[in-house]
Amino acid sequence: MRRALRDFLPVLAVAAAFLVAWKLLVVIGGYPAFVLPAPEVVATRLVGAWRDGVMQPHVLTTLSEVLLGFAIGSSLALVTGYTLARSRLAERLLSPYLVAAQATPILALAPLMALWFGTGLVSKVIICALIVFFPIAVATMVGVRSVDRQLLEVGRAFRATPLQVLTRLEIPGALPSIFGGIRVGATLAVVGAIIGSSSRRWSPSPRLESPSTG
């Protein structure tokens, strides 16, 4: 209990310092509430919106988008990362496309997702899955490649099946790296849901009819 409290105190201190700095910035800068509201104003509005039942539907919708996108993106990333780590052919074929896709800003893809799949759940889940995919795939590839070769040779010497090598040697050895990627991906899934929620402004407007040429 004391250790958990000791670990939590620095986090609490940073949060308190952030709130104090926020409040000082509002007071010293003299910003109006519509530009930079004070933390107590934001807290009051948040509590009021939650009490009035405004927040609950949006929270459930965003949570479903985050969970679905994270589940799909992480599943595909784990399979892809392992394939890239164990297949040189797959690495040569897929790596250039993965690097190009990773270099493309998700904000540039979000309008296309909204145009192709609409502004509903599907486009937002796809955006979440895309933004989650890359850090977990890279972490999985690095983690599998970092497994001790001697352990793999010992497993093969004892005639371990490929499934046994995967479940008893490769996955346990790669877990620290995989969990690191999952931690980053879980945070980015929320960012993807927020970006997807902004896709309404990119929805196509009613198509204007071209003037007749006679």
Pairwise CA distance, residues 148 & 151, whole Å? 5
30-34, 128-132, 186-190, 200-204: which has the minimum mean pLDDT? 200-204
Pairwise CA distance, residues 98 & 79, whole Å? 14
The CATH superfamily of 53-202 is MetI-like (1.10.3720.10)
pLDDT in tens, 110-153: 777 777 887 778 888 888 888 888 889 888 888 888 877 777 77
Alpha helices (H) along the chain: 2-29, 39-51, 55-86, 88-103, 106-117, 121-145, 149-157, 162-165, 171-197
pLDDT in tens, 57-75: 878 888 888 899 899 999 9
Domain parsing of the chain, residue ranges: 1-42, 53-202
Residue 116 · residue 123 · CB < 8 Å: yes
Q: Is the dihedral of CA 114, 65, 63, 108 positive or negative?
A: negative
